[in-house]
Amino acid sequence: MTAIDPNLRTTKTTCPYCGVGCGVLATPDGSGGAAIAGDPEHPANFGRLCSKGSALGETLGLGERLLHPMLRDDAGGMRQVSWDAALDHTADQFRAIIKQHGPDSVAFYLSGQLLTEDYYVANKLMKGFIGSANVDTNSRLCMASSVAGHKRAFGADTVPGCYEDLDEADLLVLVGSNAAWCHPVLYQRMLANKQKRGARIVIIDPRRTDTVADDDLFLGLKPGTDTALFSGLLAYLADNQALDRAYIDAHTSGFDEALARAKNIAGSVAATALATGLAESDVAAFFHLFRKMPRVVTLYSQGVNQSAQGTDKVNAILNCHLATGRIGKVGMGPFSLTGQPNAMGGREVGGLANQLAAHMGFTPPEIDRVRRFWKAPDIATHEGLKAVQMFEAIARGEIKALWVIGTNPAVSLPDADAARAAMRKLELFVVSENVASNDTMNAGAHVVLPAHAWGEKSGTVTNSERRMSRQRSFLKPAGEAKPDWWILSEVAKRLGFGAGFAYTSAADIFREHASLSAFENNGSRDFDIGGLAKVSDDGFDTMAPVLWPIREGTTQPQPRFFADGGFYAKDRRARFIAVEMPALRSDISVARPLRLNTGRVRDQWHTMTRTGLSPRLGQHLPEPFVEIHPYDAAQAGVIDGGHAKLATDYGSCILKVVVSERQQRGMLFAPIHWNDETASFARVGALVAPFVDPFSGQPENKATPVSITPHAFAQRGFVLSRKPLALPEQALWTRVAVTSGVGYLISDNADLATWRTWLQPLLGDDVAEFEDESRGVFRAASFVDERIETCLFIGPVADGLDWDAVRALFAEGALSDEARRMLLSGKSADGHASAGPIVCACFGVGRTTICDAIAAGAGTAAEIGAKLRAGTNCGSCIPELKRLIAGAETTVPDEQKRLAVAN
Ligand code: SF4
């Protein structure tokens, strides 16, 4: 976090990462960067930012940006072209393919990182004018099951509550959500409620994450059994006089069938315990809390959504809230935590293949309504292909042209190697991006188009609570980068649809989007922002964060839905859903005896194209890893800090091993972030089975059968360089952002001569070397103007190397003679111990520093905070501080700890 200079012009904008949607104050520094602070007036965060948001200023450089339109030439290389040439080529190729193969032979794959206005134009072009609904988005991988669950129960994709409910609830139930890491600012809000009002927190997750505090009730259920738990809860509520019969009778239908099915799945506390693998006492304690405390908010995220039965899991939760009438009232309700910054905005415009626009679907009256509003010549009349189906259709050759906008499906889709191979078959493959290289572009893109990045973009995003906020530009666009809505509109014009795409600003598009939301609505649809349809350009510029709906003529905001019914099915009733018996799609076997759960780490976002640029964020968990229970580790013969090969029926990876009691027996956990740009052999998406939920199409990212075997390396070390390098092919490497350059953590089995040969061309005239052949140690550094230009440290795995100390010397300018002498010892030049791996990313406080403070008497997280500031900003590291105080394990593998300790 950087202090804001009051003399510089500050822009209010919105964080581009998670669905919390925090307000950000950005003050440009005049040389391409900006000071960043939380916006104290934004109702989502009231000034707080998490480690990722705080580090936004470190991610604004041009080093990795795509600056110009590029076309693939006949020889297979990419060449810079004018915008006109790139747009003409794109439009000509789309036109030719549509003419020959029809509109369903083309597709757009969009992103929850796009602004609502970008999404709107993409959706309108494909569904209204090209005539296909093959528009899907990475939000399919994020919250599609919540959308499907909402629509089944409420008749619309409505989030009934708002963030204030988290302040007012007496019981907060988190299901499949590591909110401490993935929605940190909201999690701090829940903790504040716990502290001030004594709210209880229940965490339901197969994995004991940092969201679990000692005084919370943790239910570490078996994977895939959430539906059984909430079926058991529904049965318990019915058997213990906890139903709201008046609400059920007045506002719902289908209760008896849903209850009968729930009783069949888990009709008692004992049956629930058996089905979920939980202790009966824990199940009973949860059920008792839920029954006793009327103000309950149940929050759910990817652990619920990313499942082949995700929609049923959502509906099992919604059933319990509907049955108790705990919905739409202060401090009560189900709450879907959206992963992405604008997944909600995408849903508003119809960015998913099974939506049309403005919360309308593909019924004949809705198709006709949207057609008339858009004056659309050729509107799609049926749903398109959802993400996984879309890439399967590409693999079969049925989709021949694809435009990927602002996302990296070659990394994030399940069975990601197959998805990447499919893209190579496309006749036309267009990518709009703001980075110069990623796994998707490198899968054979024919056209790459430079798009505005955060800081340049201007438009709106909607967060998890339906709050629309402005993302505002505060930097000049990089190179020739353009807004996504402009790029799409230019292609639309070239396809002959100019009249429908004559936008001159994001405000133009927003007004049209708002008008459509109100068009022939009359209260029949939840999404209505007609009150903003006539907003002026100035009004759009200054628009304050606001919750929808904002109906024309209304003056009072409507923070909640459904307290008094008023659902969006034709009969205005909610539906209870009789959910299916929980079952995972694939069985474990002798060959694949464990299940792979995937997720995120605290300080990285998606495929690291932005967070991967921040040296601070790279220090908490710098390497791709797999977490495994000690029992399974012993069975597999893998050790903490060693490496292991993971293999599924779809792909394989080599990852660092973290042995942890926090991991459930029988399950592995691996983060999704690393890819071919940031690590070798660490594409975790390639391991994930492409099984999808039948209603939402969302893939099962949490339970793929997997095997794990040891993968030994004889040497380890690191490289630091002022510019990116191509490492030897055989080496296992992870790229880590460091101050003024790039670092690589390496493991290898090649002999030292291989590394010597690799390094030779990189060395200049001023070189220092150290070699101990008997121990297999080689260290070398080259200098330019007394500053390290490149250095390599490699030696036996058992050797300790102070990566932190050398990194600190690398970040310095010209080195003193003494510092140069000390460098090759791999120790800090000033003789001080290094700070160790970063625990508090906000203030850059390392593990060793924290342990020293604990040894000196700091006995609580607050005392550490008072002494070192650690944990006093976003609070995400407080659970880790507490574990360090307790002398317990951390997520940092032993070898990584050793890397930080001078030998
Ligand atoms: S919680 Fe963090 S990542 Fe999410 S919006 Fe806020 S600052 Fe950004």
pLDDT of residue 221: 98
**58-81 per-position pLDDT tens digit:** 999 888 899 999 999 988 899 999
Cβ 684 vs Cβ 674: under 8 Å: yes
Per-residue pLDDT band for 899 (boundaries 50, 70, 90) equals: very low
Cα separation, 815 vs 856, whole angstroms: 33
Res. 736: pLDDT tops 50: yes
Residue nearest atom 2 in ligand 1 by C-alpha distance: 50
Report how far ligand 1's centroid is from the alpha carbon of 901 (Å): 32
Which residue has 């339901």 as its token pair? 204
Res. 314: pLDDT tops 50: yes
Report how far ligand 1's centroid is from the alpha carbon of 700 (Å): 25
**354-368 per-position pLDDT tens digit:** 999 999 999 999 999
Strand segments, DSSP code E, in 206-320 are 217-219, 252-253, 296-300
pLDDT of residue 307: 94
Tell me if 15 CB under 6 Å of ligand 1: yes
Which residue has 């300018």 as its token pair? 813
pLDDT of residue 880: 85
Tell me if 875 CB under 6 Å of ligand 1: no
Per-residue pLDDT band for 901 (boundaries 50, 70, 90) equals: very low
pLDDT of residue 882: 86
User: 751 or 413: which carries more pLDDT confidence?
Assistant: 413
Alpha-helical segments (H) within 840-893: 847-855, 861-868, 878-885
**154-178 per-position pLDDT tens digit:** 999 999 999 999 999 999 999 999 9
Cα separation, 717 vs 755, whole angstroms: 11
Per-residue pLDDT band for 8 (boundaries 50, 70, 90) equals: low
Res. 713: pLDDT tops 80: yes
Tell me if 17 CB under 6 Å of ligand 1: yes
Task: Please tell me the least confidently modeled range out of 226-235, 316-325, 404-413, 819-828.
Answer: 819-828
Pick the atom of ligand 1 nearest to 53's CA. 7
Res. 192: pLDDT tops 60: yes
Q: Which of 1, 18, 178 to mutate to test the pocket of ligand 1 (most atoms within 8 A of CB)?
A: 18
Res. 896: pLDDT tops 60: no
**633-669 per-position pLDDT tens digit:** 999 999 999 999 999 999 999 999 999 999 999 999 9
Pick the atom of ligand 1 nearest to 341's CA. 5
CB atoms within 10 A of CB 284: 16
Tell me if 511 CB under 6 Å of ligand 1: no
First to last CA, the chain: 33
Cα separation, 864 vs 856, whole angstroms: 10
Report how far ligand 1's centroid is from the alpha carbon of 268 (Å): 40
User: 894 or 515: which carries more pLDDT confidence?
Assistant: 515
pLDDT of residue 800: 64
Please report, for residues 359, 413, 439, 701, the alpha-carbon distance to residue 416 in angstroms, rounded to integers and kept in the order given.
Answer: 30, 5, 10, 12
- Residue range 143-153: mean pLDDT, rounded: 97
**557-591 per-position pLDDT tens digit:** 899 999 999 999 999 999 999 999 999 988 999 99
This prediction has a pTM of 0.93
Q: What is the average pLDDT score of the chain?
A: 93
Q: Which of 48, 51, 185, 602 to mutate to test the pocket of ligand 1 (most atoms within 8 A of CB)?
A: 185
Residue nearest atom 6 in ligand 1 by C-alpha distance: 22
Pick the atom of ligand 1 nearest to 50's CA. 2
Cα separation, 185 vs 589, whole angstroms: 40
Report how far ligand 1's centroid is from the alpha carbon of 112 (Å): 14
Report how far ligand 1's centroid is from the alpha carbon of 354 (Å): 29
Report how far ligand 1's centroid is from the alpha carbon of 218 (Å): 25
Task: Please tell me the least confidently modeled range out of 227-231, 457-461, 877-881.
Answer: 877-881
Per-residue pLDDT band for 900 (boundaries 50, 70, 90) equals: very low
Pick the atom of ligand 1 nearest to 45's CA. 6
pLDDT of residue 7: 58
Q: How many Cα neighbours within 13 Å face the side chain of 284? A: 5
User: 897 or 566: which carries more pLDDT confidence?
Assistant: 566
Token pair recorded at residue 826: 């791999």
DSSP 305: H
Tell me if 184 CB under 6 Å of ligand 1: yes
Report how far ligand 1's centroid is from the alpha carbon of 338 (Å): 12
| Helix pair angle (861-868, 878-885), 10° resolution | 110
Report how far ligand 1's centroid is from the alpha carbon of 778 (Å): 42
Cβ 341 vs Cβ 18: under 8 Å: yes
Q: Which of 52, 454, 603 to mutate to test the pocket of ligand 1 (most atoms within 8 A of CB)?
A: 52
pLDDT of residue 845: 85
Q: Which of 181, 183, 191, 299 to mutate to test the pocket of ligand 1 (most atoms within 8 A of CB)?
A: 183
Pick the atom of ligand 1 nearest to 16's CA. 8
pLDDT of residue 5: 56
Report how far ligand 1's centroid is from the alpha carbon of 14 (Å): 9
Report how far ligand 1's centroid is from the alpha carbon of 886 (Å): 28
Cβ-Cβ contacts under 8 Å for 336 (sequence gap 6 or more): 143, 146, 150, 159, 299, 300, 301, 305, 314, 464
DSSP-assigned beta bridge partners for residue 704: 596
Report how far ligand 1's centroid is from the alpha carbon of 53 (Å): 5
Please provide the DSSP assignment of 843-855 as one string: TTEEHHHHHHHHH
Per-residue pLDDT band for 875 (boundaries 50, 70, 90) equals: confident
**531-566 per-position pLDDT tens digit:** 999 999 999 999 999 999 999 988 788 999 999 999
Residue nearest atom 4 in ligand 1 by C-alpha distance: 18
Cα separation, 793 vs 816, whole angstroms: 20
Per-residue pLDDT band for 879 (boundaries 50, 70, 90) equals: confident
Nearest CA among 511, 493, 430, 543 for reference residue 116: 511
Pick the atom of ligand 1 nearest to 15's CA. 8
- Residue range 877-898: mean pLDDT, rounded: 66
Cβ-Cβ contacts under 8 Å for 7 (sequence gap 6 or more): none
Tell me if 38 CB under 6 Å of ligand 1: no
Nearest CA among 33, 6, 36 for reference residue 22: 36
Report how far ligand 1's centroid is from the alpha carbon of 185 (Å): 6
Tell me if 22 CB under 6 Å of ligand 1: yes
Pick the atom of ligand 1 nearest to 24's CA. 7
Report how far ligand 1's centroid is from the alpha carbon of 45 (Å): 9
Tell me if 20 CB under 6 Å of ligand 1: yes
**778-808 per-position pLDDT tens digit:** 999 999 999 999 999 999 987 766 788 888 8
Pick the atom of ligand 1 nearest to 463's CA. 5
Task: Please tell me the least confidently modeled range out of 261-270, 519-528, 555-564, 826-835.
Answer: 826-835
User: 209 or 895: which carries more pLDDT confidence?
Assistant: 209
Report how far ligand 1's centroid is from the alpha carbon of 322 (Å): 30
Pick the atom of ligand 1 nearest to 185's CA. 1
Tell me if 52 CB under 6 Å of ligand 1: yes
User: 64 or 893: which carries more pLDDT confidence?
Assistant: 64
pLDDT of residue 504: 97
**805-846 per-position pLDDT tens digit:** 888 889 988 888 888 877 887 665 555 456 777 788 888 788
Report how far ligand 1's centroid is from the alpha carbon of 20 (Å): 6
Task: For the chain, give the percent of residues with pLDDT over 90.
Answer: 80
